[in-house]
Structure 1
Amino acid sequence: MKLELLANEILLNVFEFLQGVDLLRTFHRLNARFDNLLFIHFRSNYLNFKSVSKTDFDIVCQQHLPLIFDRIIALRLSENDETPQQTRCFFAYNITLGQFTHLQSLSLYYICDNVIMDIMMNTLCQMTSLIHLDIHICPFHFSYINNIWSLPRLVRFGILTILHQISWTNVPTIKSLSLQHLSIQADPDYDFSLERILKYTPHLRSFRTHLDRDYHSHKQLSYDALSIESLHLSSDYSHNTLQQLLKHVPNLTKLIVQTDGKYLDGHIWEKIMTDYLPKLKIFRLNMTFDKRAQIDAEQLVDEILDTFRTNFWINEHKWFVQCCWKLWRNENLFYLYTLPHTFSMSTLDDKWQFKSTNPQDISYVHPQSTCVLSFRCSDIRQLHVSLPLQDKLWPVISSFDRLSSISVQSFNDIFYMSQLQALIDKAPRLYSLAFSGKSSPDIAKLTSKSIRRLDLSDIETYFNKPACISLCHSSLGIQCEVLLIQTNDRQNIPYLVKKMKNLRALCVKCNDKATRCNLSSWLRQRLPLNCSISDEANFAPSVRVQLWIR
């Protein structure tokens, strides 16, 4: 059957599984019917430049975007290791955000140029249709805040960045009547006034932020925030700080809490919810803390878990928790979380011991204790693995259907490739594989149909010419699209670009004394003109450059 014979509804369903860039390159201007279908598709879908190749990006910006500026409603720009200097290339084509007249969603990731960020933030006043703004690891100045609060239709704003002690205590000064969902994830040094945010965001329904140990009483609310229905807090706060905040959000229906360094037992949580949160329906908890090695760790775990076994937890709400712990150097590390595990990152290490309050939990009994061990974490996207793992652990590790990234660490310079291959085989959607350790892994022994990104930059051994040759001829090397690596010879960089035919982005730390100060210039003389090359950054004793190749 020919593609053209399919009904429009079926074609639109097919489009949902394809990247916007690929759709434009394949179907735009093919005929009037497909142009109309693309218009319908982009009314509810992203034009996502997150992991695009340099060639596709150039073609879309030159040939397609000028014809469909007014049809794009969602745009994502990113300058991570996969698309370095993307916004510079974007604006080099004389494109401005103001040209996207119907843009409703804008996501900016890893923008590193302060001037470009200023230009984009000052253009916001023209983007009157914007509903959703997301800023992730970009330079951010407090003067941008009023620009954002001035957007007449903005409903959702999220920022994850390093604010360098920027104070929000005096901003915003403009009231937003549209903003309902706010997420401020920043380093612990940033300062804000929740009361001020609520004053100038009166319809705020959900709020995510970090509360540090300096979140004093003068920053607390003096009245009930009746509009807030959802809170997501990460903190190292005290019991009193938490209580003072939660007693002023009586309409809360969803609470997610992540703590580091402190723990509150089940009795304290139960009292907080009973006294202040009568409407709470969803509760997610993730607490990490440590204790000295001399204590009886299992006894402490039993005592903590018993506080989560009351009628309130087990029968009324059916909220179960699991606690895992291990001895690490001179401390016992503890990790307590609600079940099912809903946080995106986890660690696979058979040194952990586990216990749960769920009486029906089907779990693995650790061979050296009576503690419970379970890896039924279907939502995990990122996994840290310490090798080797005990053989008895493998039968209980289910498939990681949503896992996209594995970071492998070895403490004895052996990566146990057969174990790693077995783990890779359980992750059909695995995209990124990273290694850390003193010696290089034998990549040639690994296979995967899905892996396209290799991170070898945390291996202490520099890749020489034979190691680069071996990588280029390996199965993962042949299909690799994004590579992060260290080398001690600048000549290896053009070699990798030439031999790895599918490589579209390369991030290199080079410890070649001959090019310590002019590596970027040296590369520009030896690589194709359309290859985008960043200026070198000092990572003594190496320099780091990023290449967006093809």
Structure 2
Amino acid sequence: MVVSKLESLPSELVVEISDYLDACDLYRAFYGLNHRINTILDHQCHRLNVNFIHISKNQFDFCCTRILPRIATRITSLTLPGSNSSTPGLLPQFLVYFKSLGTIFIHLLSFKLVEFTKSDVEILVPHLHQLVYLRNLSIGGYTRLMPFNINTNELFQEHVVLPLSLRSLAFPYEISDRWIQTSNSTLSIEQLHVTSIYIDTLISFMQRFPRLNRLTTVLSEPGESDLIAENIPGSTIMFQSLRYLNLNIVSDVSFSQFASFLRHVPQLHTLIIEALNPDVLFLDAHQWEANLSANLSSFHFDLTITSLVGFDHLSLLKPFKSDYWTSRGWFVQCRTRDRGRFFRLSTSQSPIINLLYWPDDEILLDSKSIIRYPHVTHVELWWNLSKSTQSICPHVRSIQFYGANNGEIETIHPNVRDLLNTSSFEHIIIDNNVPISPTRLAHLLAKSSDRVHILTCSTHWLYSLFKTKDNEWICLLLTMRIRKLILNNTNLVLSYADLIAFARTFINLQEISIKLVSVEEMAFLLNILRQLTMASIELPDTELRNITNLTQWILENTVFRDFTIEKRAGGLDSSKILLWIGSHNRTNLYGTEHQLYSNHPIIKEKILENYL
């Protein structure tokens, strides 16, 4: 009898492994192997997690009818997809299978619903109060939304009854006077994400959550009420528990309203703000200094102005360079475009430093003193490399380049030349939205150290490289220098002709991350790129539907014999194939020469055209 390695593991380790696996996958994979494993799964695994994201309807039905009835009382975490997912209808069906959540999932601590509609939430809400031990409820997620992405028709404007045991809540609320009037109870929630809160109801809303220490939301313009924060009864109360505040503030919210609220949170430690065309006082350093809590240790903001009102950017930025800001490590930058008609005022996120100049020759970060940043590993640079702050980054590993293509090659600032030749520098990133030209990349590679071997770019950028015959010398340079390629834009895939140019250019790649449209293309690249040690390839699920054994498919269609393969979820309708490739001495060269190449559509088409 063959004894598996799992059989020899201590019971405690098997239980710990179960904490990291989906319970349905765990039981489908291991239950029934032997009596010992069955006993461990049934009697020692008491904290099971179930996640129905990216599951087929057949698998869902199997889990709900065969596995969940056996383990329901031991499930502590449950995640379900809503009607906006790739598998709509699972939530209503789940509530058909399990009509009383509170009497079945008696130890459920965490429940999450993703990609939902309002109707999904409406059918779920009546079941939630039954879950008396539920501590974490997430309808959506805890990531703050942008105001223009909010559909108010999908929000709840009235209070809904939730378990009193909750400590963490994400819910699609729109908090207005209407909500305040329907809620007169307090909850012990400590972490809260709601979609939108009207500024004039913020104080009253906070009074419902006296233990709240983290709040994430969009702060909206005043609702129908004529009240303002200062006149709300009980508004003198201090919210001593609030430590973390993450906000997107719409343009109609005045700074005075927001500052009034800040005076009620004296223990605030972290404040994160994003705003588009905010009240002009949000851009005033002195206003912030007068209203921020002395206990605030982390302050990040990103304020974007697109109006045509002129600003003196240097005067605007200067107060943010005072000791008040620099002594706290709050470094503020101003990025402008279109000669100041568009600009962003934001804090720099350590350990990333932005040395970013828009092409209107406004130098806003210029400094005559040399500053050393020993912990910086990533830098962003505009194409105009003759401009630079005097920053020294001895441990920089990657540089992201932005740039407009004007056909000229800029003189590189000596400080930037030092960056390019830093011993740790290995990775060039080309921005997707404002990319540098292929010629400029070649110029940078020529000035960089030989250690640069990683390139991140978009498929669009590669297309622009391949379409011009004059770029062949740049392709040759990439062949010589690049050993790892990451394609981070998925809106465009390479054509067959581009794939040939791609394979020729990157013939020496050792690692690749790419999106393809067919398994034939995957086989073509894997057979051409003989130096690969790792590949991450995203493919449509429709291409993989008929492949039941990926390992066998790789053996039959590529040269590789020594490899490890893993399939992971990609997008909504795609999957990622991760391939780790071992020794290249064990290859199927005969199969490659006589079958694999000649059967590929690209090769077959050229043979028919030229030789038959």
- TM-score scaled by length of structure 2: 0.59
**Counterpart Cα distance in 2 of 1:197 and 1:166:** 9
Partner secondary structure for residue 434 of structure 1: coil
Q: Any idea what the Cα deviations from partners look like across 1:289-328, whole Å, max 9, x if unmatched?
A: 2354x969xx72x44443222111222x122234434449
Cα distance change on mapping 1:132 and 1:436 into 2, 3 Å: same
Deviation at 1:389, TM superposition (A): 2.7
Equivalent position of 2:436 in the other structure: 389
Equivalent position of 1:123 in the other structure: 127
Aligned residues: 458
Deviation at 1:132, TM superposition (A): 0.9
Deviation at 1:259, TM superposition (A): 1.6
Equivalent position of 2:243 in the other structure: 229
Deviation at 1:201, TM superposition (A): 2.3
- Higher RCO (CA 8 Å, separation ≥ 6 residues): 1
1:145 equivalent to 2:159? Answer yes
Which of 278, 301, 325 is residue 313 of structure 1 equivalent to?
A: 325
Deviation at 1:126, TM superposition (A): 0.8
1:155 equivalent to 2:185? Answer no
**Counterpart Cα distance in 2 of 1:469 and 1:183:** 42
5+ residue gaps, structure 2: 142-150, 401-429, 468-474, 504-508, 527-534, 551-566, 574-612
Equivalent position of 1:247 in the other structure: 263
Equivalent position of 1:199 in the other structure: 207
- Bigger drift between 259-268 and 177-186 goes to 259-268
Deviation at 1:65, TM superposition (A): 0.9
Query: Which amino acid in 1 is paired with 2:297?
Result: K
Q: Is the 8 A contact 1:323 1:336 kept in 2?
A: yes
**Counterpart Cα distance in 1 of 2:341 and 2:547:** 45
Q: Is the 8 A contact 2:463 2:498 kept in 1?
A: no
Q: Is the 8 A contact 1:168 1:191 kept in 2?
A: no
Q: Is the 8 A contact 1:183 1:208 kept in 2?
A: yes
Q: Any idea what the Cα deviations from partners look like across 1:391-416, whole Å, max 9, x if unmatched?
A: 16786999999x9xx98767x97486
Q: Is the 8 A contact 2:483 2:511 kept in 1?
A: no
Q: Any idea what the Cα deviations from partners look like across 1:163-201, whole Å, max 9, x if unmatched?
A: 6x9765435424134222221124x8x787223323332
Deviation at 1:131, TM superposition (A): 0.7
1:57 equivalent to 2:104? Answer no
Equivalent position of 1:218 in the other structure: 227
Cα distance change on mapping 1:96 and 1:194 into 2, 3 Å: same
Structure (1 or 2) with the larger CA radius of gyration: 2
> What is the correspondence of 1:430-509 to structure 2 with a 5 Å cutoff?
434-435=490-491, 445=502, 480=538, 482=540
1:107 equivalent to 2:116? Answer no
Equivalent position of 2:305 in the other structure: 289
**Counterpart Cα distance in 1 of 2:515 and 2:452:** 23
Equivalent position of 1:463 in the other structure: none
Query: Which amino acid in 2 is paired with 1:307?
Result: P
Q: Any idea what the Cα deviations from partners look like across 1:77-103, whole Å, max 9, x if unmatched?
A: 124554444324534545653321111
Partner secondary structure for residue 285 of structure 1: strand
Q: Is the 8 A contact 1:205 1:229 kept in 2?
A: yes
Equivalent position of 2:585 in the other structure: none
Q: Is the 8 A contact 1:452 1:481 kept in 2?
A: no
Cα distance change on mapping 1:4 and 1:134 into 2, 3 Å: same
Deviation at 1:105, TM superposition (A): 0.9
Q: Is the 8 A contact 1:105 1:133 kept in 2?
A: yes
Equivalent position of 2:335 in the other structure: 324
1:209 equivalent to 2:202? Answer no
Q: Is the 8 A contact 1:105 1:132 kept in 2?
A: yes
Deviation at 1:272, TM superposition (A): 3.5
Equivalent position of 2:180 in the other structure: 170
Query: Which amino acid in 1 is paired with 2:302?
Result: N
Deviation at 1:73, TM superposition (A): 0.9
- Bigger drift between 15-24 and 138-147 goes to 138-147
Q: Any idea what the Cα deviations from partners look like across 1:102-150, whole Å, max 9, x if unmatched?
A: 1111111112371x432211111211111111111898564773312xx
Deviation at 1:256, TM superposition (A): 1.5
Identical pairs, percent: 20
Q: Aligned-residue CA RMSD in angstroms?
A: 5.3
More helix as a share of residues: 2
5+ residue gaps, structure 1: 378-382, 455-466, 484-494, 509-550
Cα distance change on mapping 1:225 and 1:376 into 2, 3 Å: farther
Q: Is the 8 A contact 2:117 2:154 kept in 1?
A: no
Deviation at 1:70, TM superposition (A): 0.8
Cα distance change on mapping 1:244 and 1:350 into 2, 3 Å: closer
Cα distance change on mapping 1:128 and 1:112 into 2, 3 Å: same
Deviation at 1:211, TM superposition (A): 1.6
Q: Is the 8 A contact 1:263 1:289 kept in 2?
A: no
